[in-house]
Amino acid sequence: MAQTRITHGQAERVDAAASLFSHTFQDDPAIAYLFLNVSHEERVSFLESYFKRGIKAAVLNDSLITEIDDWKAAAVIVPPGASLEGFSTMLASGMLSVMWRMGISGCWRLLTDVAPQVDAAIKKAFKDQQPRYYYLYAIGTEHQHQRKGLAKAIIKQYQEMAQKDDTPIWLEASNRQSREVYLKLGFQDVEILTFGKGKVSPEGMRQPGGPGVPVWAMIWWPKRHEET
């Protein structure tokens, strides 16, 4: 891969990151499942607002927004111990309006299906340890620049940061292609989560009796000193 330029920032980058993610997550099955009560067109039109509020919540908790080669790809990583779910954070970021747009059924899916599965996977990964990890909130590459190693370059920088802090990185991969990328970068499968089992297709669309949306809970562990 040719020489690339990676830069980091915070609040001043929220709009740019939200714009990029609104393109790259248009067909994300996990998001489609959460917004099952709205049409595809409505969901796509709302994505930028959805990400703008989510990224703002992350930045309010000292998260880092990273871009490469003038926004060909970008990512948001949340530091250890940060929570995006506190009421004050949700209020300040505007996330409550996202919950309103999701509707009662969408919030119910989040609180009773998605969140419990993710929490259980985290407990499984850390076993008896106190969970402490960087969280890859989102990463995306503009379609015309995919398969050039841009996302990999960003993740490698995050791994260097996490290695220095001796802290793992947690993520959820919502498609097989991204999972393969993470595996090549040293991430390990923790568990395959299934959102909406019996209700939706793998694409997150309504399908009575459907298999649900597969999501891969994954973790990267830093190398211990004796291994380096």
Domain 6-220 has CATH 3.30.365.10: no
- Separation CA 196–CA 40 (nearest Å): 17
Q: Hey, what long-range contacts does 199-208 have (CB within 8 A, 24 or more apart)?
A: 200/33, 200/36, 202/29, 203/27, 203/29, 203/32, 204/28, 204/29, 204/30, 204/31, 204/32, 204/33, 204/36, 205/32, 206/36
Structure tokens at 74: 């970008």
pTM assigned to the model: 0.92
Number of H helices, E strands in the chain: 8, 7
E strands of the chain, at which residues?
6-9, 64-68, 73-78, 134-141, 169-173, 188-195, 213-220
Asked whether the beta carbons of 93 and 131 are under 8 A apart, the reply is no
Rounded distance between C-alpha atoms, residue 144 and residue 142, angstroms: 6
What ranges do the domains of the chain cover?
6-220
Contact 136, 77 (CB under 8 A): yes
181-190 burial, b at 16+ Cβ within 10 Å, e below that, comes to bbeebebeeb
Cβ atoms of 134 and 158 closer than 8 Å: yes
Radius of gyration of the chain (CA): 17
Quick one: pLDDT at residue 191? 97
Question: Which tens digits make up the pLDDT trace of 183-202?
Answer: 999 999 999 999 999 999 99
Max CA-CA distance within the chain?
Answer: 53
* Block mean pLDDT (10 aa), the chain, length 228: 83 97 96 93 92 94 97 97 76 78 87 95 93 97 94 97 97 96 98 97 97 98 68
- For 128-167, the pLDDT digits (tens) are 888 999 999 999 999 999 999 999 999 999 999 999 999 9
* Phi–psi pair at 215, nearest 5 degrees: -135, 130
